[in-house]
Structure 1
Amino acid sequence: MVAEGWIRLLEAIFCYIELGDADRVRCMTFLLKDDAVLWFEGMEQTVDVATLTWEAFKTLFNEKYFTAEVRAQLKKEFMSLRQGDLTVSEYVRKFERGCHFVQLIGNDEAEKFQHFVTCLRPHFYRDMTMAEPVDYATVVRKALMSEQSLKEISAEAHSKRPFTHQGH
């Protein structure tokens, strides 16, 4: 995850400063540390770095640090993701991270919406089916509202409990 996050951060920076393809690769080689430096030095023996594109570098980097096995495990975790004891916010964060790895769902708004709703806790699922949200952004907003409402109901019920003295 660190490797994948590092690449995404670099891409955002490179886009912001409008860095060209060749400069992206040169900049990245300057930013490599520890084992990654050794990996890149070894890679220079088999790859012409002068003609290496950013996309080709990312492919090589991912093959080494963000392997197919890791991506397959993340997909598996996403497909079995359920809200369970997570708050709606925690569930949304994990869900959206998973959508990045399971693009079949992440890129299809209807699939994304359906997968999110069906994996909510039963009372949030019930609330969402009754609210009839039309898209993913709306269902997230309504699930967060439902959770907040549930917290308020619980707090109010707790505050109305009669006070009892122990020992009487």
Structure 2
Amino acid sequence: MPPRRVTVHHENEASNETQSSVGPEGPPPPPQLERNIKNEFRKECPPVFDGTGDPAKAETWIRAIERIFKFLRCTNQERLSCVTYQLTGSAEFWWETKQRTMTREQLGALTWENFKEELYDKYILRSYRKDKKAEFYNLKQGRMTVTEYDRALCDMSRYAPEQVNTDEKMAEKFCAGLRHEIRMALACRGRLSYAESLSRALDVEEAMPREKTTTPTTPTPPKP
């Protein structure tokens, strides 16, 4: 009796293998290409820092760089690799010297926050930040409009963030520095949020009588 022939269904086996490799969730996603973060960073036209000028210039530079980092969602290493390209002049020499004084372990553990601390200690001195903090603490409206006072308050709050880290603290600080007549008008309203305090203060200011400016007149000389 001749042996039985075994039929191999190659097509079925191939289709079964394909289905098993694909799985119930479909084919695997294509591998993600590694982005060139330095090119993406330069497309945003980041400013450079040369280490000259007053401390406010260094502050402005740091804030502009960090806005780009947040927009691009840069990692810690990407931030450090990009920021060194934006240092020029004496700032570039300072950072090169600073790196030479670090150990290999310190360089490996370096973070963006560490870099900012080093830059602040060099270009935004503690005495400057201390003076600005005291200036913010004593800030009053004076002869400023409510809008100008509010802008100054928000601008200088970065020097004492712990004093205005809640909406309640910000409202208290805002009201405490208002002119007496505006502050008294807001006091009868009870506890207000910062936005409500600002809105009420603007309304009171609008209703107050404006100071009249007198134009000096020159006397006309008598006719000969």
AA of the residue aligned to 2:160:
V
Q: Deviations 1:95-152 (Å, cap 9, x if unpaired)?
A: 11222211221103323221211210112112211344511111112212222333xx
Pair 1:68 & 2:126 matched: yes
1:100/1:106 contact within 8 Å kept:
no
Match for residue 116 of structure 1 among 166, 174, 199: 174
Please list every run of 5 or more consecutive structure 2 residues that lacks an aligned counterpart in the other structure: 1-55, 213-218
Match of 2:141 in 1: 83
Report which of the two has the higher share of helix.
Answer: 1
Match of 2:194 in 1: 136
Comparing 11-20 and 50-59, the one that deviates more: 50-59
Higher relative contact order (Cα pairs below 8 Å, separated by 6+ residues): 1
CA separation in 2, counterparts of 1:35 and 1:128? 51
Q: TM-score, normalised by structure 1?
A: 0.82
* Number of matched pairs: 156
RMSD value, Cα: 2.2
Match of 1:39 in 2: 94
Q: Following superposition of structure 1 onto structure 2, how do residues 1-168 of structure 1 map, counting pairs within 5 Å? A: 1-47=56-102, 49=107, 51-132=109-190, 134-150=192-208, 153-154=209-210
Structure 1 residue 78: deviation in Å? 0.7
CA separation in 1, counterparts of 2:93 and 2:198? 44
Q: TM-score, normalised by structure 2?
A: 0.63
Please list every run of 5 or more consecutive structure 1 residues that lacks an aligned counterpart in the other structure: 159-165
SS in 2 for 1:86: coil
Q: Deviations 1:73-103 (Å, cap 9, x if unpaired)?
A: 1111011111001111111111112222112
CA separation in 2, counterparts of 1:5 and 1:146? 34
Alignment identity in percent? 29
Q: For the structure 1 residues 56 and 125, does the alpha-carbon distance in structure 2 shift closer, same or farther, using more than 3 Å as the test?
A: same
Structure 1 residue 50: deviation in Å? 5.2
CA separation in 1, counterparts of 2:124 and 2:85? 20
> Which structure's CA Rg is the greater one?
2
1:112/1:136 contact within 8 Å kept:
yes
